[in-house]
Structure 1
C-alpha cells in the first residue's frame, strides 16, 4: 500500500496560490523551466541544496517540473514570483519518509532583501492552517548562515547536526537539522 493510500496520513490539499506584500507564491507552470534552469545553474545557489546537480540545465528543470506537476504527490512546490510573474525561486513543503520538510531556494540576484523570509513565512502559515498538528522539519548546510538565520527568525529550533551529501558539491558537508511546530512559529513581519 502506498503512503498516500493510507487513511491515517493527513494531507494539506492542493498547492495553493498565496499573495504577500511583495510576492505571489503559485503552483509551477511548464514555462518556468528556463528561469529555474538559470537560477540553479548558478553554483552559489546549487551548492546550498542537497539534491541539485551541477551543472544544472533546462532539461533538469523540465524533468523536475514534470514530477512536480504530475499531481502524484501531496507536496507543495510553490514558485516564488515577483509582481510581474518573474520566477525567482521555490519554497516547498514535501512529505518524505512520513515527515513534512520545508525546503527553499532563491535566485542569487534577489538575496539580501528579505524575500525568502516573506515567502517561507507565508507558505508555513498557510500550511499550518491546514496541518496544525504537524512538526515541520528543515535544515541547512552549516555554511549557509543566511538560511539558518531565516529558520531561526521563523521559530525553527536546532535538533541536531550531521553530514549530508550535496550533489552539486559532490561531497558530504556538515548539515544542521531544525524543526518547527505551529506553537513555535513566528511569522515574518509584513513588509
Structure 2
C-alpha cells in the first residue's frame, strides 16, 4: 500500500467515540444542550470575540446559535464540540476538534469576560490530551488571526508550532486578515492533567 493511501486512511478516521465529558481543576467540558443557545448568542454577539473567528457572522443572535447547535446535538457531525462550563454549569465557551479538508483541526473561543484567567489553556489542553490518548498518530492543525496574540500564546503553551502564514477571510470582519497556521502532534503536547 502506498504512503498516500495510508495517510488518507489515518486522516479520515472517524472521531474516537461520542463527545466526552472532561473535568479539569476549574472546569467541566461537556456536550452541548439546546439550553446553551442564549449563552452562545450572548458571547458571539460580542464583536471582540467574533472578530477573532473566521466563520462567525455579525450580527449574531439566538437563531444563529440554534442553527449551530442542532447538528451537534443530533450527532450528525464527526467532531467533538465541547461546552466549556464553570462549576455552576455556566456556558462560557467552546473547544472543538473537527475534520476539515481532510485534516483534524482544533478551534475554540471564550466569552470575553473570562479572558485572562488561563481557562482556555486548561480547557484546550484537557481536550487535546483526551484526543491524543485515543488518536496518538494524528496531527492536529489550528491557528489564529495574527492580531489574536492571546490565542497564539495558548497554542504555544500547548506545544503547537507555527507552520505557515496566509490571508484568511473573516466573516465577522467581512474582510481578509493575516492568519497564522499551527500544527501539533502527540509527542509535543505540553499539557498534562495527571498529577
The question of a shared fold, defined as TM-score above 0.5 by the shorter chain, is answered with: yes
Equivalence for 1:3: none
Q: Does 1:107 align with 2:123?
A: no
- Stretches of structure 2 lacking an aligned partner (at least 5 in a row): 1-7
More helix by share: 2
- Give 1:115 deviation, angstroms: 0.2
Equivalence for 1:35: 39
Superposed, 1:6-25 pairs within 5 Å as 9-11=12-14, 12-25=16-29
| CA distance, structure 2, for counterparts of residue 143 and residue 134 of structure 1 | 28
- Give 1:188 deviation, angstroms: 6.0
- Give 1:37 deviation, angstroms: 0.1
Q: Does 1:95 align with 2:95?
A: no
- Stretches of structure 1 lacking an aligned partner (at least 5 in a row): 1-5
Q: Secondary structure at the match of 2:128?
A: helix
| CA distance, structure 2, for counterparts of residue 44 and residue 7 of structure 1 | 39
Q: Does 1:65 align with 2:50?
A: no
Equivalent of 1:142 in 141, 146, 150: 146
Q: Secondary structure at the match of 2:84?
A: strand
| CA distance, structure 2, for counterparts of residue 63 and residue 181 of structure 1 | 32
CA 1:188–1:130: 2 relative to 1, 3 Å: closer
- Give 1:7 deviation, angstroms: 7.2
Q: Is the 8 A contact 1:77 1:91 kept in 2?
A: yes
- Give 1:70 deviation, angstroms: 2.2
Equivalence for 1:52: 56
Equivalence for 1:170: 174
Deviations 1:33-88 (A, max 9, x none): 00000000000000000000011000000000012112122200000000000000
Superposed, 1:125-136 pairs within 5 Å as 125-136=129-140
Tell me which moved more, 69-78 or 84-93.
69-78
TM-score normalised per structure 1? 0.94
Query: Number of residues paired by the alignment?
Result: 186
| CA distance, structure 1, for counterparts of residue 194 and residue 60 of structure 2 | 34
CA 1:135–1:64: 2 relative to 1, 3 Å: same
| CA distance, structure 2, for counterparts of residue 71 and residue 141 of structure 1 | 29
